[in-house]
């Protein structure tokens, strides 16, 4: 009996010991599960918050996208309008360029025609210049030849060429109204060395030696344009030319002088 009681007590103690261990294990398991559940709840809450945040971000993105799309559409329309304006401007510019090209060609044609007229005018002045007395003929012909060369090679524009032509014409006109004296190398073969020259307009030129004893009268140019001189030694004619030069140079008192112009006329008749 006593042994049975002891045995029962021992079994009870074992059962109690086993139950306490299992209970502790169960409690630990329950605690673990609670922790996992709490962790799951936290993760769900975080997931829900993330979902709400993503939804909000997507809504803002969609709003920005819509605004940007509308802005791009407006910019596209503006670019298209600007493109049409530029196209119209390009067409207008092309038309203007074409018109300017036509005007430029017309202007160039007018310039060429005007240059041709300048050349013709120079040619017309050469003929009378060749008939001028030697003192001015070479100068006039040189200026005209130089101008002709510049016009033909287009080294000078029409405005400058016209200015020079007018100046040459004015000088030629002034020559016909002026009296010129000077000392130069004798152009007449009959007088050697230096000679005194007297030119009146474009119709009279004579030279005398420095002593006033021998003279020569210009009687025109030959067919090649070279001046022809008629020598004279008459004291009266030499003295007249010498005296006229002195009066012109203010070396003598003014008086009427009879120049040997008729001598040139008689010489021309003989020729």
pLDDT in the model for residue 266: 45
Query: 170 is written with which tokens?
Result: 């004015």
Here the tokens at position 175 are: 């020559």
Residue 265 has a pLDDT of: 47
Residue 90, Cβ neighbours under 10 Å: how many?
10
> Residues 6 or more apart from 140 whose CB is under 8 A from it?
125, 129, 132, 168, 171, 172, 175
What CA–CA distance (Å, rounded) separates 147 from 119? 9
pLDDT of residue 268: 44
Q: Report the alpha-carbon angle 139-142-145, nearest 5.
A: 150
What's the pLDDT at 83?
84
Query: What pLDDT, on a 0 to 100 scale, did the predictor assign at position 8?
Result: 53
From first to last of its 271 residues, what are the pLDDT tens digits of the chain?
A: 555 555 555 554 554 555 677 778 888 888 888 888 888 888 888 888 888 888 888 888 888 888 888 888 888 888 888 888 888 888 888 888 888 888 888 888 999 999 999 999 999 999 899 989 999 998 999 999 999 999 999 899 999 999 999 999 999 999 989 999 999 999 999 999 999 999 999 989 999 998 888 999 999 888 887 899 999 989 999 999 999 999 999 988 888 988 887 765 444 434 4
Neighbour-count burial of 260, counting CB atoms closer than 10 A to its CB (0-12 exposed, 13-18 middle, 19+ buried): buried
Residue 117 backbone zone (phi > 0: left; psi -120 to 50: alpha; other: beta) = alpha
Distance CA 242, CA 209 (A): 9
92 three-state secondary structure? helix
Q: What whole-number distance in Å separates Cα of residue 227 and Cα of residue 219? A: 8
């Amino acid at each position: 009996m006593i042994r049975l009681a002891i045995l029962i007590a021992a079994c009870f103690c074992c059962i109690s010991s086993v139950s306490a261990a299992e209970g502790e294990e169960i409690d630990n398991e329950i605690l673990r599960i609670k922790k996992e559940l709490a962790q799951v709840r936290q993760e769900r809450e975080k997931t829900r918050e993330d979902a709400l945040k993503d939804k909000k971000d997507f809504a803002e993105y969609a709003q920005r996208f819509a605004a940007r799309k509308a802005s791009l559409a407006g910019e596209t329309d503006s670019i298209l309008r600007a493109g049409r304006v530029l196209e119209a401007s390009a067409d207008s510019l092309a038309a203007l360029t074409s018109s300017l090209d036509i005007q430029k060609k017309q202007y160039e044609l007018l310039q060429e025609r005007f240059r041709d007229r300048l050349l013709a005018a120079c040619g017309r002045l050469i003929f009378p210049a060749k008939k001028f007395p030697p003192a001015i003929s070479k100068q006039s012909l040189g200026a005209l030849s130089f101008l002709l060369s510049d016009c033909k090679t287009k080294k000078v524009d029409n405005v400058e060429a016209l200015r020079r032509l007018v100046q040459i014409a004015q000088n030629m006109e002034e020559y016909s109204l002026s009296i010129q004296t000077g000392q130069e190398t004798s152009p007449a073969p009959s007088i050697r060395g230096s000679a005194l020259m007297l030119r009146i307009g474009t119709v009279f030129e004579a030279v005398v030696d420095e002593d006033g004893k021998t003279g020569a009268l210009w009687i025109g140019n030959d067919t090649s344009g070279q001046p022809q001189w008629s020598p004279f030694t008459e004291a009266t004619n030499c003295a007249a030319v010498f005296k006229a030069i002195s009066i012109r140079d203010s070396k003598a008192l003014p008086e009427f002088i009879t120049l040997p112009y008729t001598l040139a006329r008689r010489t021309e008749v003989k020729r």
